[in-house]
Amino acid sequence: MKTWSEMRAFPLAIRLLLVNQLGVNIGFYLLIPYLATHLGEDLGMSAAVVGIVLGVRNLSQQGLFILGGSAADRLGARGVIIAGCALRTVGFALFALGDGLPVLLAASILSGLAGALFNPAVRAYLAAEAGDRKAEAFALFNIFATTGALVGPLIGSALLLVDFRASALTAAAIFALLTAAQAAVLPAREVPASKGSVLGDWREVLANRAFLAFSLAMVGMFTMENQLYLLLPDGARRATGWDGAAGIVFLVGTLANLTLQMRITRSLKERGTRARWVAIGLALMGAAFVPPMAVAGASGTGGGAGRAALALVPVLAGALLLYVGVMIAQPFVMELIPEFGRAELTGTYFGVFYVVSGIAAAVGNTVVGWAMDAGAHGAPWLPWACCLAFGLASAAGVGWLHRLRALPVRAVAVTA
């Protein structure tokens, strides 16, 4: 109830963007997790070709975030959001309609470019519309995004009982509806005249050393969040011997997010500074990987359902701690980003943030993947320890920047 009351307190434009993020994640996650299987098993493509198609999609998104951010600043976030959703409609429809490599590559490029456009634009629009309630707006944003990430794969797995094309066409239809809703509801805002070139904007943002240092410090947050789809599900399956255990991890996290996110954000906003809560959230995210070490390497193939349930508890405890850490840190991270520079460059700051942190997180995920392979030969605790180190290092980095007074210094609130 608190989530819905908070949502109703915001203007219609923000409410639409929240529902939009729910739909975006449902559409994305009902298709993309099953794309590799479709390419390899249904179309008979080699692992190398599958890697190319998936890599092109990821590169198109991660590498072009800065273009989406600049477009939001110069053309207006509304138009860029609509264009991004329209492009993803076309891209996902191509996945359904084409089996040839050229068509699939075009679909990957369009769907990746779509994300590069609307992701920074949505956040820039949200930051501008929310005013001094940015933390609450981004907390709600996190709730809707997390819910969509849970619902999407469930719908996708059901649609796959028909075929992959049914999933792709459903995803395309969702994005088409979102595009129409945005065009009808999102109000256009006057865009201030640009005083310099796009390259000048990029140079200004990239010259902001405090912002770049903060973006790099967030490598831990993105790397650890990604383990909700890699390390924690793998740990749940290994602990119980049951493939369906991974779904329980997502369910627990989503329920916690729905019930706790707004309470946490509103409570913390009234105390201390944002840097403090970001550092604490990151440290808690790192600590989330300690409980699963208790079952690392254990086999869930014997002992019955009772033993499997008991073995799953440390993994679920870790997942819950990780979600709580994200709930603490993420709204304040999103609130801080626009305050590093001019309001006219909010989209560019979000774009650069996602480029820098995305590249860094890719490196971090490579390290975790290496640790999983290496840990399989006698050190099952190794990947969990790597994630703990990422969390503590990121928390220390934010704390160090705060001590240097390199972060925006406005306190969240002062209590009596």
Quickly count: other Cβ atoms within 10 Å of residue 212's Cβ.
16
pLDDT score at 397: 96
Question: What is the Cα–Cα distance from 329 to 322, expressed in whole angstroms?
Answer: 11
What per-residue string of b and e applies to 82-104 under the rule 16 or more CB within 10 Å gives b? bbbbbbbbbbbbbbbeeeeeeeb
pLDDT score at 414: 38
pLDDT, the chain, mean:
89
Question: What is the Cα–Cα distance from 369 to 2, expressed in whole angstroms?
Answer: 39
Question: What is the Cα–Cα distance from 301 to 338, expressed in whole angstroms?
Answer: 50
pLDDT score at 407: 93
Is the separation of the CB atoms in 78 and 189 below 8 Å? yes
Q: Reduced to 3 states, what is the DSSP secondary structure of residue 84?
A: helix
Question: Could you tell me where the DSSP H helices lie in 98-218?
Answer: 101-130, 134-159, 164-185, 198-206, 209-217
Half-sphere exposure of 234 (CA within 13 A, CB side): 19
Quickly count: other Cβ atoms within 10 Å of residue 140's Cβ.
28
pLDDT score at 195: 77
Which residues of the chain fall below pLDDT 50? Answer: 411-416
Q: What is the pTM of this model?
A: 0.90
- The residue type at 268: L
The pair of three-digit structure tokens given for residue 231, joined into one six-digit string: 């390390």
pLDDT score at 416: 33
- The residue type at 30: L
The DSSP call for residue 1 is -
pLDDT score at 303: 60
